[in-house]
Structures are given as C-alpha cells and as structure tokens.
Amino acid sequence: MSAEPSSRGSLVLRRRFLLVLWILAGGFLLARAVELQVAQGAEWRAEADRQHRMQGEVAAPRGSILDRSGVPLALSHETFRVSVAPQELLDAPETARALSTALEIPADEAERAVASDRRWVPLPGRFPPAAREALQGVRGVYVERELRRFYPRGTLARAVLGSVIDGDGAGGVEQAFDNHLQGIPGAEIRARDSGGRAIPGESWEIEPPRPGGEVILTLDWDLQEIAHEALKDAVEANQARGGDLIVTDPRTGEVLALASLSEGGVSGLGSINTPYEPGSTLKPFTVAALLELDKAAMTDSVHTMDGRWTTQGRTISDVQPVGTVTLARALQVSSNVGIAKAADALTPAEQYEMLRDFGFGVPSGIQLVGEIGGALRHPSRWSRQSRASLAIGYEISATPIQMAMAYGALANGGVLMEPRVVRELRDSQGGVVESYEPRAVRRVVSEETAAEVNRALVQAVEEGTGTRAGLASFAVAGKSGTSRAHLPGGGYEVGAYYSSFVGFFPAEDPQLVVFVKLDRPRGAYYGGATAAPVTRATMEAVLAARTPPLDRQALATIARAHQIRETPGPAARPVAVQPAASISAGAELSAVGVASGPGSIPDQEAVHLAMPALLQPGPEEGGLRLPDLQGTAPRSAARRLHAMGLSVIWESAGPVRGSEPAPGSVVVQGDTIRLLTGPPGLAPPVAEGDWGDG
C-alpha cells in the first residue's frame, strides 16, 4: 500500500519537472522570438532582402562615332529581350496573342512559349522599345533592356571603327577611345529566386547611367566609300591579293579616307601596320635631300650609260636606257641608275637624317592602336650597297600612312604634318571636350625645294611614268613605284611585286593626297600601269561627290586657268600668274639642251595615254554649253560637269532626270549646277548596316 503513494508522488514530480521544462523552453522561444522580431528584426529583414535582391549595374549607352559632317558611323541601340514564366500566367491564350501582336512573331511560337512546362522561356531575338511598352503590365512576361552596337554603314571602314566585345572596344577607334565612349554605368536592384538567379523584369533603378561621349572623325563618308570601291575594283581587275588606298589633306594631316583589303577581300588596317619596300616612290625624297643640302640641282646632268651601273658589287638597272639626262628627267622617268648615281653625293648621315625627317622609321602618330613604324636602319648597320639601295627605295620599309604623309610634306611646302583620324571629342550633350588641332611635326625642306621636286612630279604624271593618273582639268603631281615582295622567312618572292602610286592635286595648290598600293597584281605590275589609274579614278570620283571636303572656288579658278593655257588659237587668253608646276617638260628640257617631244626619252613604267579634252566651250566667248545628262548616274554626270570647271550639287539616288539650268543653257566656269535625280521627293537609300557584338 505504501508503494502507490510513492509512485504517485514520483509521477507528479516528473510531471512538474516536465511542466517547468516546457515553461522554460516556451519562455526561451518567446524571448528568442521577441529578440528576433523586435531587437533584431530590422537586421534580419535586411538579410532577407539581401538574399532575395542584389545590386547590379545598368549599362551606359556607348557614345556615337560620327564622320566629319556628322554622319553616324557607330551607334548604340536600345533593344529588349523577352522571357515568359508560364506558371505565373493568368490567361495563357490571351498572353500568347499579346506576344504575337507586340513582338510580330508567329502565333504558334508564342503559344509554345506560354504552354511550356519550363520555369523560364526566353524568346529568341531582340525587340524594339515599342515591345516593352506593349507588354508592360502583362503578368508572367518579363522584358529586359539590352544595349547593342550598330554600324549603320555596314562593313565599310569597320577596321578603322573597330568593334565592341563584351562592352569593351576592340581595335580601331572603339579601342583607342574606349574610355571616352564607354560612359558611366548606373545602378539597380534586381530580385532573385531561391537559387540566386535574377528574376527577369524584376528590377528597380536607383542611379541612372551616364551615356558615353561622341567621337568626331576626320573621315568623310563619301570619300571613304569612293576609296573602298575604287580599291576593291582595282584588286579584282588586277587579281591582286589586296591593297591600300589613303586620301589625306596635306595642309592639316587629316585622313579623309583609309581603306585596306587583304587576301579574300577582308578589310583591315594594313595602311598602318603592314610595311613594305616602297621602291621608286621613295625617289623624290632622295632628290629633295640633294636639293636641300645643295648637293645637286635639277638641271645637273646624270649619265645613265646603257641603263646598267655596277657599284659596290651590285648592278642597278633601268627598265629602258635613257642616256644622259637631267636630274629632273631622271626622276620623271624613274631612272634607277640616274637617282642612285646622283645620291652618291650624299653622306650616309645626310641620307639617313633626311629620310628620318620625312617620317620614315618611326610611327607617324596616327590615333589608332597597332601602328608599326617600319624600318630604317642606322648608318652604322649599313652595308656597302645600302646607300644606292635606299636611294631607289630598297633596304627600307614604310607603311602606306607614312608614304602618304611624306608626300603630304612635299605638297605642303616642305612641312610634315601629323596624321589625324579624330577631329574632336564631345560629351553626351554635344559639348566639345577635346579638339585635336592640326600639328606640324617639323619643316623637312624649304618651300623652294618642295616646289622644285613638285614640278618634276607634275612632269612625271604628264610625260613620265604616271601618265595614267592625269586629269583633264587639273595638274596632278605624283610618282609611281614598283617593288619586289618579301617572303615571310626572308628574301624576295619570285614574280611578286607591290605596285604603288602617290599623287596630289591640284598641283598648283594641293588639297588632296591620294596613295594607292596593290599587293602582288597579276599581269601588268608596274605602278604606272596598275596603281596610277586607281589614283585618277579616285580623284575623279572625289570631284563628283556630293559634298567633298574641297575648296570649290579655288578648284574652279585653277580649272579655268588650266583651260585657258590648253586652249589653242586666238581665243586663248593670257593668265596673270602661271604656276610653276604647270611649266611643260618641253620648255624645261629645251632650256638645258635636251630634246623633248615624240621620239625622245621613253617612259620607264607606262605608255603615255593622251587625255581626252573634256572642256567644251560654247559658242559664246568664255561660255560653256550645258550637256544633256538625262539617264546617267549622278556621279558620272557630276564628274563630267566637274571636268568642265562647274560646281555640282545633287540630293538623292537614282538616274539624272534633268538639271537646273536646263540642258543646252550657256554657263561659265565656276557656276553651280543642280542635278535633278530620281523620282521627285525620293530620299537617298540608307544601308542596312551591321550589328556589333556589344
């Protein structure tokens, strides 16, 4: 009997103990809950937000790249990605219809997206801002903003512009001015699921991005297109592996067009990163050194013997023997023997320093990454044959941009300019941040020396190796070149050549320098036969462009003077000042007792082609009869009118349907003719363009 009360007491004791434990545990949990909810509530709520939200960047619109006239060459477009969360849809059929209408996608594609058993269904493609507006508020549909780089002019000049990869500039202007173009990203808060993945469409912008600045180039888009097409046609016509074509303004150093094609027609930057041996196009700088250092005069005679000269164990040959000629004539007909023998008067230091002063052997300073400075060895590393080799353009490598700028120095009165592809930087509001003014590197030779060399270069075009580069209305100064191509491992490739021509016009007051080089053309390979015609075609096309960066008034005055000098008979009128560059070769050579005219010294690289007379005087004295150009291409019509000394404007694509004044009207040189092109009101077509990666 006594055991029962004892057991009952023990049971009560255990129950009381358990009750106390429950009370203590409940109190602890209550206290902990109070601590978590009250004392630490804000901290844990913040941690929960941190786990379900994350801060991210809002990409800044990349700044635009524009040509010198404001034509957009690279833009950032806002596009949108669209994703569907099928499990969140309230009305799947209605959502499918909304997607099909807003995104202009097939109905079955939209229906498959909303019926999927996947958690997220991203729709392929990118959509315009209108899609975001149309789908705003549709439950289960998420729209994400994305910036993409767009090149409205397609692949033209893409090597110069560069590209964007993962938001960073790669090559060209995009890389060189990446910091200015990038802008400053903004900030946003994004919602994420339990797996840490961002939920599309669930974001809140907390700091807006600041767009990148603009880059204004020196390139002229019309000239860039002209250069590309002229080079492409020349490469195809001559079955060349590639080539380069550069157009610059010698007065400022601005690069107006820069085109390079490699094997297969791929665009690149060979103009700044692929040096070559220039050959005969280097000869004018040898002559300039002789004149500047008073080591020779243009009228000095050079005996080229039978066109072969052996010096220091090496035989230098001419294509055709020219006998005894003046130094000027040796340059005009590109005599290797004549120039090499004359260069004997220069010391190695003088020869080296003059070439270095013209910009060879060092980078030109163009505002693009990847430029190569070429090679010009110090005289201490020369062989016995180096002096003669350098005189005629061998044992030296130069890039096309170096050659263009060196000829620009001759055209610019002896002053070497630094090349520029960028005019100025602007902020996102259009304010100028930095302006790149023309910069003279140095005076290389005197104005007198440059003028003497230029006169010989005019005759090289009119009667020498560059006749195919001549224009009817303007004197052109220039020089052709043909050099052997190197093998990758050293030595020369058999039967492989570089054909080049560099010219500037008008010779009396140069406004443009045009450099052309073809890589390994087949068939005729002399520069005068292959590259010179490309120079002429380029210059004619530039004159026919709608808004070329030229001084039209100056050109009209020069063309008028040129016509007067060329017009025979009593109608010809005297010119007050005859530019020295227009003096005929016959007058120059007869003064020193050298015969000229038919049967005289033959050309070295090309057969002289007589230029057709394009200037057609009207019946009225000094007047021109405006031709009927109906049905012709605008550029062809403009080229013909420019050859008559007339200014031209035209505003749209399509064939010419008339002109103002009307065909048959009598006009005078310098007048402006408006070409009526295409159907009335037709706007010029816009290229489809090219989308970049970023």
Are 189 and 229 part of one and the same domain?
A: no
Are 195 and 271 part of one and the same domain?
A: no
| Phi, psi for residue 395 in degrees, rounded to 5 | 60, 30
Domain of 245, CATH number, reads 3.40.710.10
**How far is C-alpha 509 from the geometric centre of its chain's CA atoms?**
25
**Residues 198-243 pLDDT 10s:** 555 566 667 888 899 999 999 999 899 999 989 998 999 899 999 9
**Residues 345-371 pLDDT 10s:** 999 999 999 999 999 999 999 999 999
Domain C-terminal end among 171, 193, 211: 211
DSSP secondary structure string for all residues of 649-666: E--SSS-EEEEESPTT-E
From residue 666, alpha-carbon distances to 62, 152, 356, 569, 628 in Å are 52, 41, 53, 22, 12
| Phi, psi for residue 171 in degrees, rounded to 5 | 80, 160
Q: Is residue 175 part of a domain?
A: no
Are 226 and 207 part of one and the same domain?
A: no
Q: Is residue 5 part of a domain?
A: no
Range with the lowest mean pLDDT among 372-381, 446-455, 524-533, 573-582?
Answer: 573-582
* CA separation for the pair 478, 460 (Å, rounded): 7
- In which element (H, E) is residue 9 found? helix 3-34
Are 391 and 244 part of one and the same domain?
A: yes
Are 452 and 539 part of one and the same domain?
A: yes
Q: Is residue 27 part of a domain?
A: no
Residue 471 clears pLDDT 80, i.e. is over it: no
Q: Is 606 helix (H, G, I), strand (E, B) or coil?
A: coil
Are 529 and 650 part of one and the same domain?
A: no
pLDDT value of position 301: 94
Q: Is 126 helix (H, G, I), strand (E, B) or coil?
A: coil
**Residues 155-209 pLDDT 10s:** 888 999 999 988 899 999 999 999 999 988 877 676 666 555 555 556 666 788 8
Which has the closest alpha carbon to 518: 236, 230, 244, 164?
244
* CA separation for the pair 659, 388 (Å, rounded): 57
Q: Can you give the residue range of the structural domain that contains 391?
A: 221-550+583-590
Q: Encoding tokens for residue 307?
A: 């066109």
Residue 397 clears pLDDT 60, i.e. is over it: yes
From residue 651, alpha-carbon distances to 244, 375, 384, 672, 678 in Å are 30, 46, 60, 14, 9
pLDDT value of position 297: 95
pLDDT value of position 22: 83
- In which element (H, E) is residue 518 found? strand 512-519
Q: What is the mean pLDDT of the chain?
A: 81
Are 406 and 522 part of one and the same domain?
A: yes
Are 413 and 517 part of one and the same domain?
A: yes
**Residues 249-266 pLDDT 10s:** 999 999 999 999 998 778
Range with the lowest mean pLDDT among 38-47, 90-99, 473-482, 500-509?
Answer: 38-47
Q: Is residue 272 part of a domain?
A: yes
Cis peptide preceding 655, ω within 30 of 0: no
**Residues 74-119 pLDDT 10s:** 998 888 888 888 888 888 888 888 888 888 888 888 888 888 888 8
**Domains in the chain: how many in total?**
3
Residue 392 clears pLDDT 50, i.e. is over it: yes
Q: Is residue 651 part of a domain?
A: yes
Which has the closest alpha carbon to 410: 500, 283, 557, 308?
283
pLDDT value of position 569: 45
* CA separation for the pair 499, 390 (Å, rounded): 18
Are 191 and 280 part of one and the same domain?
A: no
Q: Is residue 393 part of a domain?
A: yes
Are 269 and 360 part of one and the same domain?
A: yes
Are 195 and 272 part of one and the same domain?
A: no
Domain of 671, CATH number, reads 3.30.10.20
From residue 73, alpha-carbon distances to 147, 267, 344, 685 in Å are 16, 16, 50, 15
pLDDT value of position 44: 64
pLDDT value of position 612: 29
Q: Is residue 37 part of a domain?
A: no
Are 335 and 425 part of one and the same domain?
A: yes
**Residues 590-607 pLDDT 10s:** 222 222 233 322 333 322
Q: Is residue 26 part of a domain?
A: no
